[in-house]
Structure 1
Amino acid sequence: MAMPRIEAIVEAEVIRWARESAGLNLEEAAKKARVKTEQLAAWEDSEARPTINQMRRIAHACKRPLAVFFLPEPPRDFQALRDFRRLPEAEAKRLSAELRFEVRLAHARRETALEMYEFMGTEPPLFSLRTSLADNPEEVGLGIRRAAGVSLEMQVAWGDPRVAFNEWRAALERAGVLVFQASGVDTEEMRGFSLADRPLAVVVVNVRDAYAGRTFSMFHELAHIMLDTGGLCDLEEHRDDASREQQVEVFCNRVAAAALMPRAALLGEQVVLRNQGAREWPDDDTRRLARRYGVSREALLRRLLALGRVSAAHYQRRREELQQEYRRWRASRSAGYRDWVREPITKAGRSFVLLVMACYNEGRITLVDASQALGVKAETLAKVEAELRFG
């Protein structure tokens, strides 16, 4: 005997809102949900209703909880990101479904963190630094270092881009900035974005990027937060663009460079003094110095160009070569296996996971609440906590 067909009592406008807010057209959403395009169109036009199982597939395709679809009307969504990227008009209007999901997730994690602090009866740390385009990027960068509590001796002792990224991330989290890592989004679309709301402003970098690239993006986004101009960013500098958006991007790049490679320290390096007057640098020198500061060779060369230590022709030639090298590196990377225990720490950050676990261990939230906040199964939670302590 066939099972009865159980319809989902959902509003058509909620289905349409979920699809559109996920950045999917009818054909894309229908394919992801394994339904016919005509069926989905009929559901959105109130001409028919999906079954519960079909609704589950739609929810999965739109990356929304199933419960959202049973609301009487579309909920008020988070404000769209300001887009600082210079794209063709047709591209600029549409973010991928994966990026839209990461934006929603960043907002949701921030709201969760604020709730956890409220449950604990404590105030979140406040990142109070602010700046304007009239300020000197060199001074702004040094101010960030002071707020992060990182000396040059500490930085060069890390000696590895992966360690440098993790240490800078921890320092910024202690200063009151949540740093998340997005996955599933191509670096061609997004290397970083930020939410400038305080307390607990948010920086999101792309886990698919190289560690040195993530570090630079993290500081670029931090400068956006200090300007109160959070959004989706473009680290490229376009000399033919005099718009305010481009002025903001150039300023944020210069602040990031000044924070990561302080002018006086960099110019005092023996390798810089040895190459003084040279318009081109040996790649071995560039590689060693970039690793010492935990930055990419391209970021270092751009900084040296700004300080008058390499020629524009050398920078441009090496930049093109390094970008080709980066594309080959990206193409050679395999997806690897998913480490479900480390994943919440990698993506949401140690400070966020510690906050959730503290609330759970003090009985402020349930096991289900904690596992949902971290995106893991309940039985995995103890392993995540052990990884925090001993990993």
Structure 2
Amino acid sequence: MPTVNVNIQPAIISWALSQTSEEKLGTKLVENIKHWLDGTKSPTFNQIEDFSKKSHIPLGYFFLQTPPVEQISLLEYRTLDSIELTNPSRNLIDTIHEMEAVQEWMVNYRKEWNYDTISVVGSLKGITDISVIADTIRKDLGLNVEWYKDCGNPSEAFNKVRGLLEECGIVVMMNGIVGKNTHRALDVNEFRAFAMVNEWAPLIFINGADSAGGRLFSLFHEVVHLWIGENDLYNDRRYSANGIKPIEVTCNAVAGELMVPKTVFLEKWNNNTNDDTHEKIKELARMFRCSGSVIARRALDNKKIDQNVYNKVIADAIEAYIQAKQEKSSGGDYYRVARSKLDGVFVRAICESVNSGRTSFTEAYRLTNTTSKTFSEVASGLGGVLW
């Protein structure tokens, strides 16, 4: 079969190259790209297909006359300005698109089945009082002030809050990779979570690559965004209070109050006789079922430690996270991991829609990143029933 050369606009090749890294493409492909750009060679269809697969850029984009303008409005709501989000990765872009599809499906489902809108969304719009917001969220979710005492660790605390959000009708999805592609890991340095406001199907996505404590804080941070009624792309690893928009200061403060109530924190801190501040922070982190970074932020805000101590705690936490990621094995119960990525309400809705004939199995597999072999098992573990 003869080799088929294709005519690809140089501007498209340059744009595609800017969307990925040379390391992902490999030396041979990078050398070919250089020749395509200087006009000494023309690409073959197979080479462009290889470029598409390695860069995760849709094949059709390569045959456009000008680079596509991808409208990703969520990027406007990033917590911190950063180089990473000036040029978002294909992994982030594809994850956002995937969650947009989930949300769109859920909106259509709830409208079709005559569900009510989710009343908590935007219910605190314009409110800035930290105590008022925290108390309202506690009341809406049925959380008492020291709710964390019923949990053994940050992961249990996360699951407890996630379950309460599901009861409110809020979709909470989590993944550390794009879809089910283990070669496309999400980068916690690029983003930790995002929230997509919608009165029919508000959605929170948590970057599963984050630490357990980080995921819990991100969840509460995005909860506040939903109650205030503003989208968010959370990309702050240092629990900042300066250099960010006022709404982010508010969301961080409320998340801190929900996890570590000020009155309880001050009592426990003052009663703790440990002279080693770093050890004291670790002890309180275990007590509140959260990360040391959150305790350090509370201590800094309440003038119990200075900025240098806080910076050291954050730096140590990031280093520990990196070390843990390097040592972590890739094993684990497949079905348990698959279920942890999905929202229970969403999966049960899909099962109901499949049973009624409104949604095909193929669509169900696509939306849940499962297969015909795994969908039923994953769904049943989340309370989904298939007839």
TM-score range relative to shorter protein: 0.7 to 0.9
**Letter of the aligned partner of 2:294 in structure 1?**
A
Shift of 1:240: 6.4
Aligned equivalents of 2:25 and 2:345: distance in 1? 38
Aligned equivalents of 1:115 and 1:71: distance in 2? 32
Shift of 1:155: 2.8
* Matching residue of 1:37: 33
Q: Helix, strand or coil for the counterpart of 2:108?
A: helix
* Matching residue of 1:209: 210
8 Å CA contact 1:235–1:253 kept in 2: the answer is no
Shift of 1:285: 4.8
Aligned equivalents of 2:35 and 2:199: distance in 1? 43
8 Å CA contact 2:101–2:367 kept in 1: the answer is no
Aligned equivalents of 1:221 and 1:196: distance in 2? 10
Aligned equivalents of 1:303 and 1:190: distance in 2? 22
Change (3 A) 1:62 1:320: closer
Change (3 A) 1:121 1:247: closer
8 Å CA contact 1:120–1:359 kept in 2: the answer is no
Q: Helix, strand or coil for the counterpart of 2:75?
A: coil
Q: Helix, strand or coil for the counterpart of 2:174?
A: strand
Shift of 1:195: 2.2
Change (3 A) 1:287 1:373: same
8 Å CA contact 1:131–1:227 kept in 2: the answer is yes
2:317 aligned to which of 309, 320, 323: 323
1:302 aligned to which of 277, 297, 310: 297
Aligned equivalents of 1:353 and 1:59: distance in 2? 31
Aligned equivalents of 2:126 and 2:150: distance in 1? 32
8 Å CA contact 1:30–1:37 kept in 2: the answer is no
Deviation string for 1:14-60 (max 9, x for gaps)?
9779948x9337x5786599583268769xx9x97853x55654553
8 Å CA contact 1:194–1:221 kept in 2: the answer is yes
Aligned equivalents of 2:107 and 2:15: distance in 1? 25
8 Å CA contact 1:113–1:352 kept in 2: the answer is yes
Aligned equivalents of 2:65 and 2:374: distance in 1? 34
Change (3 A) 1:318 1:383: same
Aligned equivalents of 1:68 and 1:126: distance in 2? 40
Change (3 A) 1:55 1:325: closer
Shift of 1:250: 2.0
8 Å CA contact 2:12–2:64 kept in 1: the answer is no
* Matching residue of 2:221: 220
8 Å CA contact 1:235–1:249 kept in 2: the answer is no
Higher mean C-alpha deviation, range 376-385 or range 222-231: 222-231
Q: Helix, strand or coil for the counterpart of 1:231?
A: strand
1:312 aligned to which of 306, 310, 327: 306
* Matching residue of 2:182: none
Higher mean C-alpha deviation, range 71-80 or range 136-145: 71-80
Aligned equivalents of 1:13 and 1:114: distance in 2? 40
Shift of 1:118: 4.0
Change (3 A) 1:75 1:95: closer
* Matching residue of 1:256: 255
2:159 aligned to which of 162, 166, 187: 166
8 Å CA contact 2:194–2:233 kept in 1: the answer is yes
8 Å CA contact 1:169–1:179 kept in 2: the answer is yes
1:274 aligned to which of 265, 268, 271: 271
Aligned equivalents of 1:18 and 1:377: distance in 2? 34
8 Å CA contact 1:181–1:346 kept in 2: the answer is yes
**Letter of the aligned partner of 2:295 in structure 1?**
L
8 Å CA contact 1:125–1:199 kept in 2: the answer is yes
Change (3 A) 1:91 1:118: closer
**Letter of the aligned partner of 1:254 in structure 2?**
A
Percent of aligned pairs sharing the same letter? 21
**Letter of the aligned partner of 2:134 in structure 1?**
G
Any unmatched runs of 5+ in structure 1?
none
**Letter of the aligned partner of 1:382 in structure 2?**
S
1:79 matches 2:80: no
* Matching residue of 2:179: none
Aligned equivalents of 2:115 and 2:194: distance in 1? 28
8 Å CA contact 1:102–1:182 kept in 2: the answer is no
Q: Helix, strand or coil for the counterpart of 2:209?
A: coil
Shift of 1:328: 5.0
Change (3 A) 1:349 1:237: closer
Higher mean C-alpha deviation, range 226-235 or range 70-79: 70-79
* Matching residue of 1:230: 232
**Letter of the aligned partner of 1:223 in structure 2?**
V
RMSD: 4.0
**Letter of the aligned partner of 2:257 in structure 1?**
A
